[in-house]
Amino acid sequence: MLDTAPLLARLVHGRRPGHSLDAPFYTSPEIFAADMELIFSQHWIYVGVEPDVAEPGDVMTVDIGKASILIVRDDDNAVKAFHNVCRHRGARLIDEEKSTVGNLVCRYHSWTYDLTGSLIHAPHMGPEFDKSCKGLKPVNLRSLEGLLFVCLSDAPPADFDEMAARMGPYIAPHKVRDTKIAYQSDLIEPGNWKLTIENNRECYHCDANHPELTVPLFAYGFGFSPEELDPIDLENARRYEALRLTSHAEWEAMGLPSREIEELDTRVTGFRTERLPLDGDGESHTMDTRAACRLPLGAFTNAKLGGLSFWTQPNSWHHFLGDHIVTFSALPLDAGRTLVRTKWLVNKDAVEGVDYDLANLIEVWTATNAQDSALVGMCQRGAENPAYEPGPYSPNTEMLVEKFQRWYIGRMTEQLGL
């Protein structure tokens, strides 16, 4: 970090507001290392959902850069996180992404930890060896109504609880804990994680690139330059705005908080939410805009609940529909590659082929993810070009991209003590 600090300080200070970042933020291995140390090791990172470890003994591993984390449900039904490293010779303890165990046993020399991380067996270490000092190292973990966030720092941002308090009422009705994972896709996007997030924070590119996603999504919901709309489009935009407001009022009357909370660049744990009306039949993110799963989530009886979106800095976005949830975690691999892990959740009692058709459930976001991956790749190759220079964001359609950059630059400024 010592060598990179002056470069980073210069680049952080030199960031031009309203523009994409300087190229090294996307391409430099040194800045990537700083991102992993100052952003991904110091903030709350979204990694999965409680249904990933539904039963006691269920274990999930997730990698954040070179850190590997065990998420375990213990025998008291508590979800805990540990570093995935044996305290003996340092072997990775669990290789599989998902497994179910009685205890956590290292394959190398059979050191054995219980599900609370305590070392309970270490053969041949002799009578003077003190097992109590060699339990698994814990990792901070929080569940926001079933969404799991970890923080690798011993001093995690304290404002998580306030986010949880404000977001809880929005998410709780969708009952994440009562879902199952119908499908998971792991897609490696050929670009820096910030390009993945930038791409996620605007729909300026949707019209030209996402023929599937723009079936349920209203084009007007993501900004436009009013001067460029013809009278018919302008009237449609006005109608959409009226629909948004009346929908909010109706949904909130049903006990579903829906109005925007926008805190993307105003707090350490930046986030944003809003429930938005959907086009067509207005039920779900599907090609026919109808629910993909016959069993609704939670206690919902009305299918036309729009889509509740939730974004967190630095690495997640989520769409809560009436019938399913799609939840995304962006996990950086190196300066030029990012794993986007997508999980589709349905009511845990739903039966594939009976209550939902898997191809129909995942069609919109599988196509959209592939399209986004190609766009992120184009931007990465562009940023690597010596002729690249930061370009201007649209004040009408790229406001949330700018807010991500402000959050990132702000966090780097504070972490670097600038």
Residues lying near its own copies in the complex (CB under 8 A) are found at 20, 23, 41, 65-68, 83-93, 95, 107-110, 123-127, 129, 134, 137, 152, 198, 204-205, 207-209, 223-225, 227-228, 375, 378-379, 381-392, 394-397
Nearer to its own copies, 157 or 377 (CB): 377
Q: Please name the helix (run of DSSP H) or strand (run of DSSP E) that holds residue 25, with its range, or none.
A: helix 24-27
At 144, give phi and psi (nearest 5°).
-100, 90
| Residues 266, 368, 22, 385, Cα dihedral to 10° | 180
Give CA separation, 117 vs 73, 135, 156, in Å.
11, 5, 20
Contact 363, 290 (CB under 8 A): no
Nearer to its own copies, 3 or 76 (CB): 3
Nearest distance from residue 377's CB to its own copies, in Å? 8
Nearest distance from residue 203's CB to its own copies, in Å? 10
Nearest distance from residue 117's CB to its own copies, in Å? 12
Nearer to its own copies, 82 or 344 (CB): 82
Nearer to its own copies, 100 or 110 (CB): 110
Nearer to its own copies, 78 or 374 (CB): 374
Nearer to its own copies, 225 or 246 (CB): 225
Nearest distance from residue 395's CB to its own copies, in Å? 5
How far apart CA 127 and CA 179 sit, in angstroms, is 47
Nearest distance from residue 154's CB to its own copies, in Å? 11
Packed helices 4-13 and 399-415: angle between N→C axes, nearest 10 degrees: 140
Nearest distance from residue 85's CB to its own copies, in Å? 5
Contact 145, 177 (CB under 8 A): yes
137 token code pair: 């190292």
- Among residues 30, 367, 341, 345, the alpha carbon closest in space to that of 175 is found at 345
